[in-house]
Structure 1
Amino acid sequence: MTVQKTQVAIIGGGPSGLLLSQLLHRKGIDSIVLERQSRDYVLSRIRAGVLEHGFVNLMREAGCGARMDAEGEVHEGFYIAHQGRNDRIDLEKYADGATVMVYGQTEVTRDLYAARDAMDGVVIHEAANVQPHDLKSESPYITYEKDGSEHRIDCDFIVGADGFHGVSRKSIPGDVLKEYEKVYPFGWLGILSETKPVSPELIYARHERGFALCSMRSQVLSRYYIQVPLTDKPEDWSDDAFWAELKSRLPEDVAAGLETGPSIEKSIAPLRSFVAEPMRYGNLFLAGDAAHIVPPTGAKGLNSAASDIYYLYHGFMDHYLNGDSAGLDGYSEKALARVWKAERFSWWMTNLLHLFPDAQEVDQRLQCTDLDYLFSSDAAQASLAENYVGLPY
């Protein structure tokens, strides 16, 4: 068995793990990242593309913001289509000048890989049977297998950024961990197409046939979603059927301007709200999807992971550079306080804009009234905008 030594061992080579590793390296703190999949597989995952202003600044602090700033789309607002109208939320006006950046998670990950390579960061791909050990001791370690050999990493701390199905959360004893979950009775059918976006800003649509979202990755790459039953499969939907259903859920003028074309990716994502507490056990820290999942309606999944990384980054800096462990000791409480606010916002947006299978007529009237109130109240729009651009870290 080969043995390596590092200060922070990170399980999970997605954007969360890579970002933390990059930030720590720039402060002289050593880390090793373990990823179960290959780099090509990680870069093939199609994920979120709306970045809060805090995440954008964190990418810049990591030295990874140049391409994002050059190619990303700064959005100062978004639209909510409802009752035949297409009303706009002015983020810049209602969130004290804050905006969001539309820049795909794949591109974020690509930039982080490039930065790790440039600094000779250690990212070990295709690490099998990863297992953390001695989490309550002062000398935790990780074992894994690669290329038929066993390996061990001795470390001071372990960060579990390995997603909902990863090993990290499962390593916390059941009598310590408490999990909260709500599974929604529908999913999002999404397609990626090499077409011009129908709108310069995102459009969220609430319609009697179900929710829809018009998003983008660039000016020549569009991402669209429609709400579908959980029983549906991507192969049940031809491209023509998707475009027809999307058009039916959009205002007529928007639908008339929709450019259609072949899908280059098509998938269905289930929706759930999930939180695991605590986010620290001994010297193991959970981050991102390993600890919490949000429905994508509020664009909070990747952004909530980034806030975890912000708290961990500053906690490790204080510990190693200043001898102060208060940030690490308070990590779980501080991270969860922000996570639950993101969960609330995503839950509210989901309930506001989706058609629920068991909804009664009164529920739909209340949804419409909620939207009417939203666009009649500066205070309500300010609350939405404040949450959408991202609450302070």
Structure 2
Amino acid sequence: MTHENAVAVTGLGVRCGAGTSVGALWENLLTSRCPAQMHAFDAEGTVVAPACPMPEFTPEGYLTAKEARRTDRSVQLAVCAAMDAVADAGGLHVPAGRRAVVTGTGYGGVIAQESGIGRPDVLYVPRAMPNAGAHWLSVKLDATGPTLTLSTACASGSHAVGEAMDLIRARRADVVIAGGHESPMTATTALSFGRSGAMITECDDPARALCPFGTDRQGFLLAEAAAFLVLERLDDARRRGARIYATLTGYGSTSDAHHLTAPHPEGAGARACMEQALADAGTPADAVTHINAHGTRTALNDVAEARALTALFGPAAVPVTACKSVTGHSLGAAGALEAVITCLSLHEEIVPPTANTVHLDPQCDVDLVTARPRKLPAGPALSTSFAFGGHNACLVFDTPRP
């Protein structure tokens, strides 16, 4: 990675059930506190399942009452998280035309879509369209450069961050606000994932239900979230004296070309994606200090991911954490949320533990960080996302170099 192409992460913002701020999320991760609860997905309470919703969320102070009526809940989460990230970065210090926005979402305005069935109003389309989040961020942040939306299921957030980096490298933008947003908390979504066997529908203790790479994993918990990063050229960030959480140095994007919903059983596409990201960063595999894994807690995905990691890095060779054990699975927002967490890990030189996993599946030969946080040296880290449709996206972050 040449100094000219280095991209700095200077702002972070989140809204999720596991934390209404970056600080709250980090504390819950370090203490393995999962806020999952039994959640009613419809007003009648006929569809109830363990989940990680945002408690008592309001966009007040970020959107006017009129704007809130015009936006789906997922967009409201996005606006709050992105504006927090910009404030964390100390503002946007480039002209409007040099500012870009890249959002990722798997569903778009799914709450608006479901509530509008049979009785759509004039605002149904503006609330439901997947690119609504990118539009509102461009308006609220006065960004008139490229404004893009990517939808690659659970890899959407990671793809958004990776494509944002490429915009900066190509000098099509100087600052990019990038991330993912999703609020899939509807009865139809819950019933669909539940009946497919991907999502847990019943459990005695939702907060302890998620155990990625564990022997008794049964699926994920549905969550809503938004997570955004402010990316800018490293030289520019240093010139203005910005705090730099990490540098984004590599991006990989591949397809399994295998099955619509099942991963390649040996993780071939996932391994190729990780190799591509490391090559883009100029980082050898043996230099990676830790991996923030996709870790959905589903039977097929965890094994496929573990096999990919073992094939590339060796058995239990690199510390691995799986943050969905605390955050739940926020689908299109998940990759961006885990990118934020990876940046925090590098900044603090601490990897948060994987909550709840006690008995590691023997098919998953990984060095899973459990029980307590692990102190690690400075160095590159990998964040992985693998999705329905065979979409794979991987990001390499690193400790800022002189």
Q: TM-score range by the shorter chain?
A: under 0.3
TM-score, normalized by length of structure 1?
0.27
- Whichever structure has more strand as a proportion of its residues is 1
The structure with more radius of gyration = 1
TM-score, normalized by length of structure 2?
0.26
Higher relative contact order (CA 8 A, sep 6+): 2
